Amino acid sequence: MRSRRYFLRQALTSAGAALLAGCDALSNSSWFPKVLGIGEHLSSAAQHLVTSRRSMAQEFTEADLSPEFRSNGTANPEDGEYQALAARGFQDWKLLVDGLVQAPAEFTLAQLRAMPSRTQITRHDCVEGWSAIGKWTGVQLSHILALVRLQPEARYVVFHCADPMWGTAEKYYESIDLEDALHPQTILAYELNGEVLPIKNGAPLRVRIERQLGYKMAKYIMRIEAVKSFAAIRGGKGGYWEDRGYEWFAGI
C-alpha cells in the first residue's frame, strides 16, 4: 500500500514536471507563440467590432485623482543630449514631425503650449496590472497632423523617444495607427495634474492613447514620424516592447 502510494505520488510529480517543462518548451519554440498569437488577432478584431472609431475612454473627476502618479519604465533618461535639454528647462527642445507628411516641421514647447489644448482626467492601465488616474493637458495629435498634412499613403505614426532602455543604446519607440492618432483623446501632453509634466512621467512631452495600455503611451518624445509600414523600423514589430513579445494592439 505504501509503495503504491509512493509510486502514485512519484508519477503525479513527474507528470506535473513534464507538463511544466512541456509548456516552457512550447513557449520557447518558434511555432507555438505564433499559434498563441491567434488570440491577439481575435481580440483586436472583436474589440474593433464592438466599438466605433470615436468611442471615448472614460473620463473621471478631480476626486478620483491618484495622490501621486507613479512612474514606470524610465524615470530619468540616461542620455547626455536629453540631460542637456532638461538642464535648460527644455527651452532648446524641439519636436520634429516628419516622414510621410507634406510639410515637415519642428515645434518648440512654447509653440505647442500656444495651440488649442485639451484637458482630460483619465485612467492609465499598466500591462502589469495596476491603474492610476491623472489629469493630462496637451495638444491633440490630430491638430499637429493637420498642420503637417499627412500624405495619403501614411498609415501609422511612430514616436521616437529620448530614453535609452536599461543602459543599452536602444531608445524607446512606439507606433499607433491613424484611428488612434486622430482620436480626440489622443493628445501630446505637457502637463500632469495642472503642473508642468515631471521628468519621471515623460517631460517635456508624452502621448496619451487612452484606449490602450500604458506601454503604448511613449514618454520623452523627440520625433514623430508618419510611415506606411513599421516593418523596417528596428525590430519590425512597431515598438520597444512589441519587439520583446508584447502585443502591438494593447487594448486589453
Size (the chain), residues: 252
CB of 111 to other proteins, least distance (A): 30
Whole-angstrom distance, CA of residue 33 vs CA of residue 2: 42
Whole-angstrom distance, CA of residue 150 vs CA of residue 102: 6
Long-range contacts of 6-14 (CB under 8 A, 24+ apart): none
CB of 236 to other proteins, least distance (A): 16
List residues binding other proteins (CB under 8 A).
16-17, 20, 23-24, 27, 33, 35-40, 42-43, 47, 50-51, 55-60, 64, 66-70, 123, 125-133, 210-213, 241, 244-247, 251-252
Closest to other proteins by CB, 90 or 136: 136
Cell digits of residue 25: 518548451
**CA max distance for the chain:** 83
Closest to other proteins by CB, 102 or 166: 166
The angle at the Cα of 86, spanning 194 to 112, to the nearest 5 degrees, equals 50
Closest to other proteins by CB, 66 or 117: 66
CB of 246 to other proteins, least distance (A): 5
Alpha helices in 124-177 (DSSP H): 141-148
Closest to other proteins by CB, 133 or 207: 133
CB of 112 to other proteins, least distance (A): 25
Closest to other proteins by CB, 217 or 226: 217
